Structure formats: structure tokens, C-alpha cells
Structure 1
Amino acid sequence: MFTGVNKKKIYQLVLEQIQEGLSDGSLQKGGKLPTERELAQKLQVSRASIREALRVLDVLGIITSRHGGGNFINHRLERSLLEPFSIIYRSMNSSLPDILEIREILESQLVKTAARSINKKNLAELKNLGDQLEGADNIENWTKIDKKIHYEIIRASKNQLLIVILNSLSELFELQIKNLLKKIFNSRADRADLIKQHKKIIKAIEKRDEKNAELEMKNHFMFYKKH
């Protein structure tokens, strides 16, 4: 699994080995890495270099270090994407419409895949969430259910890479849209409109109408942009 390395930075090389291990199944999310001694021997570098590399990966959120217990691959690797996204978002003076546009582009395509490939179990869960959204009586539950609906649609597409990316964007999206969601929730008309939009998206998926599912998802994000 681990092989000798060249003159790249050690943490980059350890990361490459982790990526290869995750790809070929020899490593798993949440799984324990070899010891520092084993890594140093297999990568043909000093233990000090390995120790520093592991510190960097810990800071990046790729691994977690447990005192006396070793180093483990983060079982929620997608969380490690959130901080870089947040830094880039702030450093470039990006705005909420930027995030909305990215999500619209990705989700309007994924919803077509969901309409084509969703199974009965996912569809039943999606319809149940639509009903729950209609009955949500506070902003916390409403926001939580809204997020679950979008996640279920993304999950139905079965595109694992985009699931990770959109989950990270979703958390950043939530941080920036709190006031807008509160405004929508407190307006009976806007809340009813948003619930209706979700119902239309779910109905299009149920009918396996890819074109209409895409249209309704775009209308959904257009609603956010207008607010």
C-alpha cells in the first residue's frame, strides 16, 4: 500500500498514499493509519518528517490524532472541505448569490439524474420529508427538513463526489442564509410558496419527468435570488 517517496512535501505524499488506500479499499474512512515508525519505514523518510506531515493533515481535517491511540482518517472527510471553501468565499468577497448560482447549476442537473434513477425507498423518504416541511412549526425544524430534502435529492443521483461537494457548500450556504430563511419563514405567503416549490420538485421526480424536475429546481433557486 505505502511505497517510497520523492522530493515532494511529505504531507502531500502521505495524503497521496491515503487517497490511494481509500480508492483501492485498503484504507477506510474512520480507519487507523499505520504507526509513525511504519510510515517512516515504508515511505523511506524520517519519523520527524512523518510526525510533521501528520500534524499538517490533522490541521487540514484529513486525519484526527488521538493521544496514545494513533492517527485515524477522518470519518467525515467532507467536513475538511468546508473551511477552505469558507476562506476562499471570504477572501474573494463572494456573495450569497455566488453560492446560490453554484448550487443551482449543480442541483438542477442532479435533480434530472434523481428523476431518472431514484428508487422506491428514496422516493418514499422524499415525499415524507415534503409532508414534514409543510407541518414544521419553527424555523429550526423547517431549515433542517429543507436541508434533508435537498440531500435526499442529491443522494438519489448516486454521484458520490458531488454529494461531498454539495454537502460542504450546503453548510456554507446555511451560514450565509440564516436571515433570509428566517424572513421567508416569518412570511406566511413566502413560506407557502417555498413549500409548494418543494412539492413540485418532488412530484416531477416521482413522475420521472427530468425536464420538469430541472425547471422546478431552477425556479426554486430563482425564488431565493429574488429575496
Structure 2
Amino acid sequence: MEKSYEKVVDFVQKQILDGVYGTGDKLPSEREMALQLNVSRTSVREGIRILEQMGALSCQQGSGNYITGNFENTLIRVMTLMFAVEGTSYREISEFRFALEYQALSLSVHHATEEQIEEMEYHMSMLETAQEENVRSKHDKRIHYLVVEASHNNYLIVNFLALTQVMDRYVKDMRVRILKDEKNREGLMQTHRDLIKAVKDKNVQLGQEALNRHFVYIYNYLDS
């Protein structure tokens, strides 16, 4: 038997899917929804609380409840629990990341803006000149994020952001450990140069080859 608060969740979900509500739209008041769905206002509040936790709603005190699309935190929680409960391996997480970046690259070579390319080049120059590894790591991550962002595909971007959070939590200092072998340093640096050049020159093959090389370093580390 469907619980009362589930009627609220299902109702809002259906309204969104049917195009009745979109991002930024305000939901009816709790009283109106309670009357419409024949449930208590307590059930309405519980349903709204669940939708807010999912990232579908933004509840603004004194103003009302609005449709939003902030699902990154929800994805982080889900991925973190999957990792912990299902025993997801580091390699599986890296393979998922590779799949996301590989697809993002094929889109970013067509959709990257001049500003995004310039920002990639800036972070590349900082990566090459920074003296501290924590600074280099920051610019390294930013380059990868910009490639995904340049795909202009929100599903890829949100999943990548969530996945990055999980990897940062569970696969700490991967870059440092990879670079313990000095001969990896220049090779890894070159993969980033080629990745940016691929986006700039709209060369999918060059970018795919760079990503393949980049993830060989990661897989070698994970398998060691």
C-alpha cells in the first residue's frame, strides 16, 4: 500500500515529467497539495523533505518550495554508499571515470568555447611551472574538469563532479604515488598537453590516445 508521503513524491515527479513544472517553478502551497492529493499536511511536508534531499526541490523559508536541479550531492551519497556497501573496487571507479571522460572528449572537441580552451591552457602552464605537488594536483584536476565541462552535457558534468568527490575520498594521493616513478612524470604531463591540443584542434583521435595513455598510468598504479 502506497504511503501518503509517497503520493506527494510521485505527484511532483509526474508533474515534472509531464512538463507542468520546470526548473525555478514554485509548487502549490502545502495546504493546496494536501487538499488536491487528499493527504495530511504532515505527509506533504515529509514528501517535500524527501524531494529536497534528492535535490529536486529547494525549500525557501517564508517563500515556498521551488523546482531545482541540484543532484550532485545526491549522486555523491549514492556513489559513496555503493562503494562502501557493494565493495566497488578502485578500478571500477576509474573505469567509470574513463568512460565519462572519453565520451565528454568526443563532445568537447566540437563544443568547447575559446574561453574554456584558454582556461585549459592556463592550468596547463601552471601545472608545468608549479613547484608544490598539491598545487600541481589542483591544476591537473581542473584540466580534466574543463574537458568534461566543455562537453556541455549536464549529465556528464554532474556525474563527473560526484565521481571526483568519491575518488578524492577513497583514492587519495593517486597522482603522488604514480609520480614516485620519475619516468612517469613527463609522460603524464604530455598526456595533458595532448588532451588540450586535441580539444583546441578538434582532433578526437589525439584526445582519445591521450586519455588511453593517462589511464594506463592509473591502471598500472591500481594493479601494483
* Short-chain TM bin: 0.7 to 0.9
- Which of 26, 38, 47 is 2:41 aligned to? 47
Report 1:1-227 matches (<5 A): 9-17=6-14, 19-20=16-17, 26-28=22-24, 33-63=27-57, 65=59, 70-73=64-67, 76-184=70-178, 188-227=182-221
How many residues align? The count is 219
Q: What is the CA distance between 1:65 and its match in structure 2?
A: 4.5
1:81 touches 1:168 (CA, 8 Å); kept in 2? yes
1:114 touches 1:157 (CA, 8 Å); kept in 2? yes
Q: Unaligned 5+ residue runs, structure 1?
A: 1-5
- Which amino acid is the alignment partner of residue 177 of structure 1? V
Distance 2:145 2:15 in 1: 27
Q: What is the CA distance between 1:100 and its match in structure 2?
A: 0.8
**Range 191-200 or range 178-187, more displaced:** 178-187
Identity among equivalent pairs (%): 26
Distance 2:130 2:68 in 1: 33
1:58 touches 1:64 (CA, 8 Å); kept in 2? yes
Q: TM-score, normalised by structure 2?
A: 0.82
1:14 touches 1:53 (CA, 8 Å); kept in 2? no
SS at match of 2:171: helix
Q: TM-score, normalised by structure 1?
A: 0.81
Distance 2:52 2:113 in 1: 38
The Cα RMSD (Å) is 2.9
- Which amino acid is the alignment partner of residue 142 of structure 1? R
